[in-house]
Amino acid sequence: MGRQLQELDQMKAEFLANISHELRTPLTSIREGTQLLLDQVPGPVTPEQRQTLEILLDSSQRLNQLIASLLDLSKMEANMMTYNFSPTRLTQLVQHTVDKVQLLAERKHIQFVIDDQLPPEHLLPLDGIRIEQALENLLSNALKFSPHDSSITLTLHCNLKTHVTAIAVKDEGPGIHPEDLPHIFDRFYQGKTPEGETRFGSGIGLALAKKVVEAHHGTIWIDSEQGNGTTVHFTLPAEMLRETAHAS
């Protein structure tokens, strides 16, 4: 039964890989064509036309990202994702990820506070690209749910006895309803949205972050109380991981 499920997961991953290739090709044409119009190569555009084109470009970029995340998640679920571990400075990785979402933060006047308690020589065997992807999902959630003019605090700490590194992302948002908490890492699960508010996203971010952390033999969990913000914690053990491919 277990093997059959695994085979089904692999078939699903291969199917998604084919579909996403088919979807991405026309999507690239749409994106490039829109960019061309925005650059006024075929001719001048009016401010109203520019506004519509920017919405088009933004939507096609979001769709591209969604396809990429779906494909990554299904590969992870089918144990078909290849991880490349190499000694990485977490401090730099965190700073780089924060830089990537800085513009979004500025739009909401949100400040990032990095409480880095790691020693300067601290190195971890990580797949930096995947850990950045996981962290970006956590930061994007924190930014999405945080109110304007608030802070998001990232704490980096290493336990000197166990050599386990812990990362926490704390926001001052509305928190998570207790009914949603047990399901929050399930694929496609999204918490209830207050009436009248639009729901953004697809419920993939936390499922993907969990898979990445587990592939590094770490754990991920959430502390959240309604009205009191949310903190997502994850750990990364220090032992050198031998698997360089097909980590689950």
Ligand X SMILES: Nc1ncnc2c1ncn2[C@@H]1O[C@H](COP(=O)(O)OP(=O)(O)OP(=O)(O)O)[C@@H](O)[C@H]1O
| Near Mg ion by CB under 5 A: residue from 173, 175, 205, 218 | 205
Residue 218 touching ligand X (CB under 6 A): no
Which residues is 116 bridged to in the sheet?
156
Contact between 111 and 72 (Cβ < 8 Å): no
Distance CA 108, CA 151 (A): 10
Q: What are the backbone angles phi and psi of residue 89, rounded to the nearest 5°?
A: -90, 110
Residue 93 or 184 having the CB closest to Mg ion: 184
Contact between 153 and ligand X by CB under 6 A: the answer reads: no
Please give the helix or strand (H or E) that residue 152 lies within, else none.
strand 151-158
Q: Which residues pair with 232 in a beta bridge?
A: 169, 222
Comparing CA positions, the residue from 149, 163, 176 lying closest to residue 217 is 163
User: Which amino acid appears at position 21 of this protein?
Assistant: H
Residue 190, contacted partner among Mg ion, ligand X, none, CB below 5-8 A by kind? ligand X
Among ligand X, Mg ion, none, partner that 142 touches (CB below 5 to 8 angstroms by kind): ligand X
CB 29, min distance to ligand X, A: 25
| Cα–Cα distances in angstroms (integers) from residue 17 to residues 183, 199, 221, in the given order | 27, 27, 29
One residue of 88, 141, 165, 235 binding Mg ion per CB under 5 A = 141
* Residue 171 interface partner, choices Mg ion, ligand X, none, CB cut-off 5-8 Å depending on type: ligand X
Interaction of residue 221 with ligand X, rule CB under 6 A: no
Pick the stretch among 48-56, 86-94, 197-205, 216-224 that binds Mg ion (CB under 5 A). Answer: 197-205
Nearer to ligand X, 122 or 221 (CB): 221
Closer residue to ligand X in complex, CB, 113/123: 113
Give the residue from 198, 184, 187 showing the smallest Cα distance to 78. Answer: 187
* Interface with ligand X, residue 206, by CB under 6 A: yes
Query: Is 205 an interacting residue with respect to ligand X (CB under 6 A)?
Result: yes
Q: Which does 77 bind (CB under 5 to 8 A by kind): ligand X, Mg ion, none?
A: none
- 76 with 116: CB under 8 angstroms? no
